[in-house]
Amino acid sequence: MTIVGICRPMRSPWDQPMECCLRFFPCLIDPARRSALCVKLVLVTVHLVYIGVLFLIDGDLIEKTEKEPMYTACYLLLFFVTLIQYFVTSISSPGYVLDAMMTTERNVLYRKTSEASNLPASSKNGSFVVAFEGTQAGKNISGNNTPTWSKLVADLYPMGTTIRTWTCSYCNVEQPPRSKHCHDCDKCVLQFDHHCVWLGNCIGQGNHCRFWWYLCEETALCLWTGILYISYLKDHIKSAWWRDAIMIVLLITLSISLIFLLLLLLFHSYLILTNQTTYELVRRRRIPYLRGIPERVHPFSKGVSRNVYNFCCGSSSVYNMERLPTPQETEEKSRPYTCLDVVSCRCC
């Protein structure tokens, strides 16, 4: 008789602590979420290092804090507000197409139920609203004429466009204009801008405003920190060489980060003024509904003032679906500016 033994793999002494860690923190199981968490820890650590080195080495800053506590208090307030804005932006929803579709279906079902049970029409269901620009969805969304999601999305595209053109090949969901499937999040995002590695989240319609404010706060924090580092080096240039070396290395990396943040802030400010996204600007020739439009024409722009108002004052609980402009509207926007257009503030 032959006895067959089963060899069990050797368990590492780190296996049991790792299993306990994964049991209490299930987010660590997903490699993408684990890497995003590591990036967040690195970014917070870098912020703490810059602040900690400044307060440990610069004795004059401590004395200034005792004389003018409001100066240091404002600096620390900006530091904490920036970190809070970072985490809020990283966990905020960019506005997923699937969520908008489910919200539309719930609203339609709620209206049908309200009409069947004679409930008042002003009753609200949920906290999200789906607004379709240029369609008749608000007029015929009740009764037997209730439009489906596919019909509402089709109204946003020009006549003659097939459904395969705007259907996502990964999610199999009808995409409104300006939407794109994100392979990192594995979801379709409304007004997709880009997937931010530092945030571990997509930037889209729902959190683009938060992302812009985070860039403003991070830029201001880097600029203020750089001023403090330069002030220290000017007053203590002949102090211990190792302190100067640490401060100079940190100042160089801070200057590079500041230049990058300034360029990114200016770039996104331009996108806001023209109502564009990074994806539309970079991949314009690959987007089917933007290929035939001249590059100097911004098809979704409604004027600088209205673009800024919609961006800053738009509610994150409203999914705004913008329709594609008609050929007449595109031709009007491509018309060269004249002196009368400048006087009448056509660009605004």
Each domain of the chain, given as residue ranges in start order, spans: 29-95+201-344
118, two tokens: 């004679």
Q: What pLDDT score was predicted for residue 104?
A: 81
| Side-chain-side CA neighbours of residue 179 (13 Å) | 31
Asked if the model's pLDDT at residue 303 lies above 60, the reply is yes
242, two tokens: 């190792």
* 326 pLDDT tier (thresholds 50, 70, 90): confident
pLDDT above 90: percentage of residues in the chain: 36
Mean of the per-residue pLDDT values for the chain?
Answer: 80
Classify strands 194-196 and 187-189 as parallel, antiparallel or unpaired. unpaired
Question: Has 196 been annotated as catalytic?
Answer: yes
- pLDDT tens, position by position, 109-149: 666 666 556 555 444 444 556 666 655 444 334 444 446 78
Q: What pLDDT score was predicted for residue 80?
A: 96
- Higher pLDDT, residue 144 or 217: 217
Q: What pLDDT score was predicted for residue 16?
A: 57
Q: What pLDDT score was predicted for residue 141?
A: 40
Q: What pLDDT score was predicted for residue 168?
A: 87
- Higher pLDDT, residue 231 or 1: 231
- pLDDT tens, position by position, 237-290: 766 777 888 889 999 999 999 999 999 999 999 999 999 999 999 998 888 888
Nearest alpha-carbon partner for 280 in 332, 204, 198, 187: 204
From 52-56, 67-71, 119-123, the region with the lowest mean pLDDT: 119-123
Asked if the model's pLDDT at residue 201 lies above 70, the reply is yes
Classify strands 318-321 and 129-132 as parallel, antiparallel or unpaired. parallel
Per the listing, tokens 């302190």 go with: 243
From 13-27, 64-78, 277-291, 328-342, the region with the lowest mean pLDDT: 13-27
* 29 pLDDT tier (thresholds 50, 70, 90): low
The rounded distance, in Å, linking the Cα atoms of 181 and 111 is: 30
Please pick, among 182, 188, 196, 209, the residue that the annotation labels catalytic: 196
> What distance separates the 2 farthest-apart alpha carbons in the chain?
102
Per the listing, tokens 């060269």 go with: 336
From 32-46, 55-69, 100-114, 221-235, the region with the lowest mean pLDDT: 100-114
Residue type, 318: V
Q: What pLDDT score was predicted for residue 125?
A: 46
Per-residue three-class SS string for the chain = CCCCCCCCCCCCCCHHHHHHHHHHCHHHCCHHHHHHHHHHHHHHHHHHHHHHHHHHHCHHHHHHHHHCHHHHHHHHHHHHHHHHHHHHHHHCCCCEHHHHHHHHHHHHHHHHHHHHCCCCCCCCCCCCEEEECCCCCCCCCCHHHCCCHHHHHHCCCCCCCCHHHHECCCCCCECCCCCEEECCCCEEECCCCEEECCCCEEECCCCHHHHHHHHHHHHHHHHHHHHHHHHHHHHCCCCCHHHHHHHHHHHHHHHHHHHHHHHHHHHHHHHHHHCCCHHHHHCHHHCHHHCCCCCCCCCCCCCHHHHHHHHHHCCCCEEEECCCCCHHHHHHHCCCCCHHHHHCCCCC
From 2-16, 49-63, 180-194, 283-297, the region with the lowest mean pLDDT: 2-16
Asked if the model's pLDDT at residue 12 lies above 70, the reply is no
Q: What pLDDT score was predicted for residue 188?
A: 93
Report in angstroms the alpha-carbon separations of 341 from 251, 298, 308, 338, 346.
47, 17, 20, 5, 5
- pLDDT tens, position by position, 138-195: 433 444 444 678 888 888 887 766 666 778 888 888 889 999 999 888 899 999 999 9
Q: What angle do CA 135, 136, 138 make, to 5 degrees?
A: 110
From 72-86, 257-271, 286-300, the region with the lowest mean pLDDT: 286-300
Asked if the model's pLDDT at residue 336 lies above 80, the reply is no
Asked if the model's pLDDT at residue 92 lies above 80, the reply is yes
- Higher pLDDT, residue 28 or 64: 64
